[in-house]
Structure 1
Amino acid sequence: MNPWLIFILAVIGGSFLLNTTISLLNLKALSPDLPEEFADTYDQEKYRQSQDYTRVQTKFSLIENTIITVITIIFLLGGGFNLVDLFVRSFGLSSIPTGVVYAGSLALLSFILSLPFSIYSTFKIEAQFGFNRTTIQTFVTDIIKSILLTAALGAPLLAAVLWFFEHTGSYGWLLCWLGTVAFGFIVQFLAPVLIMPLFNRFTPLEEGPLKEKILAYARVQNFKLSGIFTMDGSKRSTKLNAFFTGFGKFRKIVFYDTLLEKIDDEEIVSVLAHEMG
């Protein structure tokens, strides 16, 4: 057997075993009983539901990971990658477009394989626990936007990587690394402005006591914020969340609208402190 094939199989198998072990350990650690130190601050029934949700999601992830790993190994040993390569080469394109189409074809196959699991997770598990608000229209629209966005960003990047390897000789790997890192930084700056608004609506937090408390805490921590926004996360889920975007003085904090609706100002500032680390 080809040594590289053995290596690839070992990586796939090792990754599968590691992820499975971690998931099983997490399942073993779950308990419906609320820890005593939180008895006065958290509801027992809500805690039990959170443990049930984690258990169901973890078991589902184990099933998904197992099926995808088995199919990947069968595809690899059965010559599936070679068949895709032969199919793409039949178009008679030059080397770089051939590489881009080949990678895109594999990405499309991977997406098709994972789609049923995504549908079940969203419309069955999330709905079962009262989290899902995603409509079929939103789900399909998100898929279309994601595919177009991946093609628009991924194809030029991959073409550039292949061009560097083809034309810059022994320094190709270094230039590819530098280019990929630079691309990642650019995307981090563009994402809040151009990419994320394609999926959600962002609104500056209105003036008032909450904004004053957030800014006051940030000043005390010497943490610069360039903006405070709310996001219509309720369009897809009832879950609460918050996150930062950007770097340095361009950092912005984003709160899900569900979070602002369900907890008070002091708790929101605590969430900010958590996100700040």
Structure 2
Amino acid sequence: MEKTVVITVLMLIFGKLCWESFLSWLNMQEARRRQKAPPLEILEVMDQKTYQKSVDYSLAKERLGLFNGVYEVLVLILILFSGVLPWLYSLFSGPGSEISILREAAFMIAALILISLPGVPLEYYNRFNLEERFGFNRSTVRLWVTDKFKGLVISLVLGMPVLCLIIFLVMNLGDLWWLWAFLALFIFQLIMMVLYPMIILPWFNKLTPLPQGELRQRLMNLADRTGFKARTIQVMDGSKRSGHSNAFFTGFGRFRRIVLFDTLIDQMKEDELEAVLAHEIGHYKKGHVPRMLAVSALMSLAGLWILAWLVSVPWFIQAFGFDHELSGPGPGLLLFGLLFGAVSFWLSPALAQLSRKHEYESDRFAARHVGPDPMVRALRKLSRENLSNLTPHPLYSGFYYSHPTLFERERAIAGQ
């Protein structure tokens, strides 16, 4: 049975890599083909020089993505089959030591830190070479290192108690531990939706209320007439790390808030910002947040059910060099976490399609409340300033894109 597990895992890992590589190749070929003869509609969005830069940026990201995909697979296979994980586990379980919650959690944290280290050089290259080359990086090495350290601290502070709780449930609640784990994780997710913008995000970015003035009054009037009743609209200093612009909606109920990047405010006119805000309000009014939360909950429930079965059978962890008789739940939980992405990856098209449906609905909501012209101009400006790929291969965008392409959105707005 252990041999079957190994073969299945390798098929999943390499199947994912081959499909990712094929999609990237298709997308690069499409970009090169369009580069020679761009459609006229593209030149209405960006000039020839900017379009060429966007193509170069897309190709550079795809090349890095191809390398990163192969690199990650090699690291994952080395981690899984070299015996390093059983060796690391033995360091936390000396002769005669009992299986304990803290031991299992400490092993998992140590393993996750070890596994993340090979990816750090690629993150550095992406930030300080690729993004720098195309004028997006505004971070410094010191800020980048500080962010990594803060992220590690937050992961330990939040992750350790959650891991300990899950391990406790596995060890003490019998075959139905996964139902209690789902409930605990769901409550934790709801709490984090509230606390993230209030406690965690300020560790990395400065959030300030949009200053009094014509723009603020205009946006607050929009919130009132659409029934959003926003307590505040916040501005985030995203420009200290990147030239990319964005806006996002977070929280729920009385804790909901909309955050605008300062780069977005610098780039857009007031009616365009109004359209962006109307789009974000549309997500709230259309119930997209609870809908996506429900989808996430169903996926978590299914994943935990599968996990409960895998940690109960000896052959799962034994296929990777662990002794089932001497092991606690830590190895099984860790291995499932490492391999889950190779399975959930194939759900990407369905999740992306649902997300694109939400984007169309929010676009229509915004167009009804501020007019189609400001919405289209805002979308075009976002695409131009972020050097978006305006002509992705349909199979690529259908599999990955959580947002429709610019021209798909424009056609939907015009046809509403």
With normalisation by structure 1, the TM-score equals: 0.92
5+ long unaligned stretches in structure 1: none
**Which segment drifts farther, 168-177 or 3-12?**
3-12
Amino acid at match of 2:53: Q
Render the CA deviation track for 1:182-201: whole Å, top value 9, x for unaligned: 11111111001100000000
1:136 partnered with 2:141:
yes
Question: Root-mean-square deviation (CA), in Å?
Answer: 1.9
On the 8 A contact 2:169/2:180 being kept in 1, the answer is yes
Residue of structure 2 in register with 1:15 after alignment: 16
Residue of structure 2 in register with 1:86 after alignment: 90
Residue of structure 1 in register with 2:111 after alignment: 106
Question: Residues 141 and 214 of structure 1: is their aligned pair in 2 closer, same or farther, counting only changes over 3 Å?
Answer: same
1:212 partnered with 2:217:
yes
Residue of structure 1 in register with 2:3 after alignment: 2
Q: Aligned residues, how many? A: 277
**Which segment drifts farther, 129-138 or 25-34?**
25-34
Which residue of 59, 62, 66 corresponds with 1:62?
66
Question: Residues 7 and 60 of structure 1: is their aligned pair in 2 closer, same or farther, counting only changes over 3 Å?
Answer: same
On the 8 A contact 2:209/2:233 being kept in 1, the answer is yes
Give the CA deviation at 1:47: 2.2
**Which segment drifts farther, 209-218 or 196-205?**
209-218
Give the CA deviation at 1:37: 2.4
1:75 partnered with 2:90:
no
Which residue of 224, 227, 232 corresponds with 2:232?
227
Give the CA deviation at 1:156: 0.5
| Distance (whole Å) between structure 2 residues aligned to residue 9 and residue 98 of structure 1 | 29
| Distance (whole Å) between structure 2 residues aligned to residue 223 and residue 14 of structure 1 | 45
Give the CA deviation at 1:250: 2.5
Give the CA deviation at 1:111: 1.9
On the 8 A contact 1:224/1:251 being kept in 2, the answer is no
| Distance (whole Å) between structure 2 residues aligned to residue 23 and residue 222 of structure 1 | 42
- The alignment partner of 1:89 has SS state of coil
On the 8 A contact 1:227/1:252 being kept in 2, the answer is yes
**Which segment drifts farther, 201-210 or 67-76?**
67-76
Percent identity of the aligned residues?
Answer: 32
Amino acid at match of 1:16: L
Question: Residues 249 and 37 of structure 1: is their aligned pair in 2 closer, same or farther, counting only changes over 3 Å?
Answer: farther
Residue of structure 2 in register with 1:125 after alignment: 130
Give the CA deviation at 1:149: 0.3
**Which segment drifts farther, 41-50 or 233-242?**
41-50
On the 8 A contact 2:75/2:118 being kept in 1, the answer is no
Give the CA deviation at 1:34: 4.3
Superposed counterparts of 1:196-275, under 5 Å: 196-275=201-280
On the 8 A contact 1:225/1:250 being kept in 2, the answer is no
| Distance (whole Å) between structure 1 residues aligned to residue 21 and residue 175 of structure 2 | 39
Which residue of 150, 154, 157 corresponds with 1:152?
157
Larger relative CO (CA 8 A, sep 6+): 1 or 2? 2
Render the CA deviation track for 1:77-109: whole Å, top value 9, x for unaligned: 222222222222239464211211121122111
Amino acid at match of 1:227: T
Amino acid at match of 2:154: L
Question: Residues 10 and 126 of structure 1: is their aligned pair in 2 closer, same or farther, counting only changes over 3 Å?
Answer: same
Render the CA deviation track for 1:220-255: whole Å, top value 9, x for unaligned: 443343320111111111111111111244221111
| Distance (whole Å) between structure 2 residues aligned to residue 25 and residue 90 of structure 1 | 51
Give the CA deviation at 1:180: 0.7
Question: Residues 216 and 93 of structure 1: is their aligned pair in 2 closer, same or farther, counting only changes over 3 Å?
Answer: farther
Give the CA deviation at 1:160: 0.2
Which residue of 149, 168, 176 corresponds with 1:163?
168
5+ long unaligned stretches in structure 2: 283-361, 363-416
Give the CA deviation at 1:22: 2.7
Amino acid at match of 2:54: S
| Distance (whole Å) between structure 1 residues aligned to residue 130 and residue 152 of structure 2 | 24
Question: Residues 38 and 57 of structure 1: is their aligned pair in 2 closer, same or farther, counting only changes over 3 Å?
Answer: closer
On the 8 A contact 1:16/1:65 being kept in 2, the answer is yes
Render the CA deviation track for 1:118-139: whole Å, top value 9, x for unaligned: 1101111111011111111101
**Which segment drifts farther, 1-10 or 120-129?**
1-10
Give the CA deviation at 1:25: 2.6
Amino acid at match of 1:19: E
1:97 partnered with 2:87:
no
On the 8 A contact 1:96/1:162 being kept in 2, the answer is yes
Question: Residues 106 and 136 of structure 1: is their aligned pair in 2 closer, same or farther, counting only changes over 3 Å?
Answer: same
With normalisation by structure 2, the TM-score equals: 0.63
Question: Residues 75 and 253 of structure 1: is their aligned pair in 2 closer, same or farther, counting only changes over 3 Å?
Answer: same
- The alignment partner of 2:92 has SS state of helix
Residue of structure 1 in register with 2:178 after alignment: 173
